[in-house]
Amino acid sequence: MSAVWSEENKFASWLKVEVAAVQAWADLGAVPRADADKIAANARFKLEDVERYEREMHHDMNAFLRSVSDSLGEEGRWVHLGLTSYDTEDPATAIRMVEAADILLRDLAALEAAITKRALEHKDTLMMGRTHNMHAEPITFGLKLLNWLDEVRRDIKRLEAAREDIAVGKLSGPVGSHATVPPELEERVCARLGLGVDNVSTQVISRDRHAHFLQTIALIGASLERFATEIRHLQRSEVGEAEEPFQKGQQGSSSMPHKRNPEKCERVCGLARVLRGNAQVAVENVALWHERDISNSSAERIIIPDSCLALDYMLAMFTDIVAGLVVYPQRMLENMEITRGVVFSQRVLLALVEKGMSRQEGYYVVQRAGHNALDQRRPFRDTIAEEPEVQQRLTPAELDTLFDYTYFTREVDKSFARLGLAER
């Protein structure tokens, strides 16, 4: 990813566009074929010369073109024929964004595989499901991971769509009128570069495309932040159900040797904020003045490379976290017991309703017994059995059957089947 966004690759991408344009001009008979072939064979740039010329000229495109002309003879006059700066820059940026998207898609595929493996491994690992940070009803850890997997698959589809949206070029000349660059040339150049054509551009490609790409990156970052936040909670000392891998020789604190902090997950969460900030800038870049201004350019030189680099890093790191995640099933079971069985409250309520009790009346009975269990630190099985309305409707044996953790996970296989994992 660093190579994609290097200065060397930026100018190499510019050169691809310039060579393709000269070749297309030759196809249309406007440039001698021999000259076009010489340019294709010999056109070069030197990064140090471009930088030196730019300090003098204060215009990066003209500095680049000057360096390219240094490598050519008389045929160099055909380079940049009829073009304006963004006829080169926008297709070149699209090339690099596509390259970056392909790296990110490979990263997402690796994360998808890692989550799939761990979800299957823990398909039947019982743990407490929580809502509002409180014990709700049991789930399995595999089901939690399966939910992540489904979201990652959606992220892949979103990035594929954003990649398609950004994979377009434009060579329409100043203000997009095609006066100096006919549409036929634009189509030929974009085809040579493997890009689609922006149907109607101004002097630049409309920045809603770039905003779509960076918003997609930010949304993927938000997914990673959600997953990482979950691990951070599960790693808390009071919970202790799972933790990110801690390598031999790693140290968690400068002062407290016992610490194993979720610092990698915290890093993911912090960088997700950067991605959202960059996406906001991309949205603000959409509203350019008239046929173009340059307010987007300086920001894009930061937000596009930085977002791609950050997400590439986050995906690689979080894939390692998932692959090495340490899971503590016994602690999950122990934690399920700390609320003394109140997680079966809905089962008892439904049983009372089936026995003819109104839902509202049954709710009050079960709620009272549940709160007594928590407040008095007694088993819910005991407090609910003391309720006269329950004694009238449920035998002790019937009550016992309601306190079965596996009831809550009996449909988990069907969720896995929905994601095509039933036979694994």
Q: Where are the alpha helices (DSSP H) in 236-358?
A: 263-284, 295-324, 329-337, 345-354
pLDDT tens digits, 11-63: 999 999 999 999 999 999 999 999 999 999 999 999 999 999 999 999 999 99
CA distance 134 to 111: 29
Retrieve residue 291's tokens: 């046929």
Is it the case that residue 322 has pLDDT exceeding 90? yes
The C-alpha angle with vertex 259 and arms to 255 and 261, in degrees rounded to 5, equals 115
242 forms bridges with which residues in the sheet? Answer: 327
Pairing of strands 196-197, 168-169: parallel
Retrieve residue 157's tokens: 């589809």
Torsion angle of the four alpha carbons 10, 15, 17, 20, in this order, in degrees rounded to the nearest 10: -160
Nearest to 112 by CA among 161, 145, 159, 158: 145
Please report the pLDDT score of residue 424 as a whole number. Answer: 47
Percent above pLDDT 70 for the chain: 100
Is it the case that residue 142 has pLDDT exceeding 50? yes
Q: Give DSSP secondary structure letters for 34-71.
A: HHHHHHHHH----HHHHHHHHHHHS-HHHHHHHHHHHT
Retrieve residue 200's tokens: 């109607």
Please report the pLDDT score of residue 297 as a whole number. Answer: 87
Q: How far is CA 226 from CA 122, 220, 222, 229, 270, in A?
A: 19, 10, 6, 5, 12
Residue 396's CB is within 10 A of a number of other CB atoms, namely: 9
Q: Give phi and psi for 303, each to the nearest 5.
A: -70, -35
Examine the residue annotation and report whether 298 is marked as an active-site residue of this protein. Answer: no
Please report the pLDDT score of residue 30 as a whole number. Answer: 96
CA distance 171 to 91: 8
Of the candidates 132, 237, 255, 290, the residue annotated as catalytic is 132
Retrieve residue 213's tokens: 């790409």
pLDDT tens digits, 156-203: 999 999 999 999 999 999 999 999 999 999 999 999 999 999 999 999
Nearest to 320 by CA among 252, 251, 267: 267
Please report the pLDDT score of residue 151 as a whole number. Answer: 98
CA distance 386 to 396: 11
Examine the residue annotation and report whether 132 is marked as an active-site residue of this protein. Answer: yes
pLDDT tens digits, 122-132: 999 999 999 99
Q: How far is CA 89 from CA 60, 69, 418, in A?
A: 10, 18, 44
Retrieve residue 274's tokens: 């950067």
Q: Give DSSP secondary structure letters for 169-181.
A: E----GGG--SSS
For CA atoms 388, 394, 395, 396, give the dihedral sign.
Answer: negative
Please report the pLDDT score of residue 249 as a whole number. Answer: 83
Chain mean position to CA 211? 15
End-to-end CA distance of the chain: 34
Q: Give phi and psi for 135, each to the nearest 5.
A: -55, 130
pLDDT tens digits, 222-257: 999 999 999 999 999 999 999 999 888 888 778 888
Contacts of 378 (CB under 8 A, 6+ apart): 340, 372
Please report the pLDDT score of residue 423 as a whole number. Answer: 55
CA distance 100 to 106: 10
CA distance 137 to 297: 52
Please report the pLDDT score of residue 215 as a whole number. Answer: 98
Retrieve residue 111's tokens: 């994360």
pLDDT tens digits, 363-406: 999 999 999 999 999 999 999 999 999 999 999 999 999 999 99
Of the candidates 2, 177, 253, 358, the residue annotated as catalytic is 253
Give residue 349's pLDDT band: very low, low, confident or very high (50, 70, 90). very high
CA distance 105 to 274: 20
CA distance 237 to 165: 45
Whole-model pTM: value is 0.93
Average pLDDT of the residues of the chain: 95
Please report the pLDDT score of residue 295 as a whole number. Answer: 86
Contact present, 180 and 161 (Cβ < 8 Å): no
